Amino acid sequence: MKIMITAEATSDYPERLLSENITIFPMAYTVNGVAYDGAENKLSPKEFYDACRKAKSKEDLPQTTMITAFQAQEFFRPILESGYDIVHIGFTKSLSGTYDQMCMAAKELSAEFPKRKITIIESGCAAFVQGLLVWYVNQKLQSGASYDELVAYAEELKDHCAGYFTIDDMKHLYRTGRASKTQAFLGDALQIKPILYINKLGKLIPISKQISHKKAMRTMLEYFDKKMLPASEQKLVVVMHADAYEDAQIIEKTIKDKYNLEYTEIVDVGPVIGSHVGAGMVAIVFLAQDKIEPNDKSLNE
């Protein structure tokens, strides 16, 4: 039995963590009017954020394109033809229509390859919160788990893969519908920094506002301390950053020193997620007790 774990580029899964059983599908984006396919033609994170800073108009700011059902079939088909069954860890459907496109592709391919299995997991995650689920499912695969065991494990673990984020520029939140124009203006003028998390519904929700970037980082660490599962269960904790490497180093050192964690990584936020959060974002990604915050009003809607 051969199994391939797949995910979209929204997972920000770094090449150094890849194995022969993981395939990450590229996603297209446009910066300063130039189109990139995310595969043969792409920008490094540093090049991407430098280009974003040089944008002179709204039209120059980055734009992303979701994967269509046809593209998804083109990604999946060679894997199935090679004799692999597929467990796809999909981007949260609360933020994109990509998940539905993946499901449409899987339905078509199941008829085309009746002897192969393909399951689309709605991860309820984004960025390396999605990537963390990929990583743990691959660890389970390496331990000898069956296909059905992997699917069940992914469905259970996705409710514990969590991330807390602080964003440096609220204008990006406004542009992508995460804050009102007034909130974005006041946040920029007063240097207010929001803290957001991905909740159990897969939504990116602001839960706190701090008066400075340093205060936001400290508060984010407090959320991490409150919500994390015991350190012994944290097989990988990741600090993500959008061209804010020094901040990521500070957070990584803090959590390593305090919790004696087994394994930590610093991971770049790639162009797809970076198009929506902008430069300066920092996040902690880990296994949490749950993904529920008391002041998350969306959970009551």
Q: Which domains does the chain have, with CATH numbers?
A: 2-27+66-157 (3.40.50.10440), 161-300 (3.30.1180.10)
Candidates 195, 222, 212; CA nearest to 296 is: 195
The amino acid sitting at 294 is P
Distance CA 213, CA 247 (A): 10
Contact 118, 110 (CB under 8 A): yes
Instruction: Inform me whether the pLDDT recorded for 104 exceeds 80.
Output: yes
Distance CA 87, CA 64 (A): 24
CA atoms within 13 A on the CB side of 87: 26
Mean predicted lDDT score pLDDT of the chain: 90
Estimate to the nearest angstrom the gap between the alpha carbon of 69 and the chain centroid. 21
Query: What is the CB neighbour count within 10 angstroms for residue 114?
Result: 7
The amino acid sitting at 75 is F
Is pTM beyond 0.75 here?
yes
- Confidence band, pLDDT 50/70/90 cuts, at residue 171: low
Query: What is the CB neighbour count within 10 angstroms for residue 140?
Result: 19
- Confidence band, pLDDT 50/70/90 cuts, at residue 178: very low
Specify the 3-state DSSP secondary structure of 239. strand
Choose between 299 and 75: higher pLDDT.
Answer: 75
Instruction: Inform me whether the pLDDT recorded for 190 exceeds 60.
Output: no
Instruction: Inform me whether the pLDDT recorded for 3 exceeds 80.
Output: yes
pLDDT digits (tens, 9 = 90+) for 118-146: 999 999 999 999 999 999 999 999 999 99
> What one-character DSSP code corresponds to residue 68?
P
* Range among 30-34, 63-67, 160-164 with highest mean pLDDT value: 160-164
pLDDT digits (tens, 9 = 90+) for 225-257: 999 999 999 999 999 999 999 999 999 999 999
| Token pair belonging to 230 | 């015991």
Identify the pLDDT of residue 206: 86
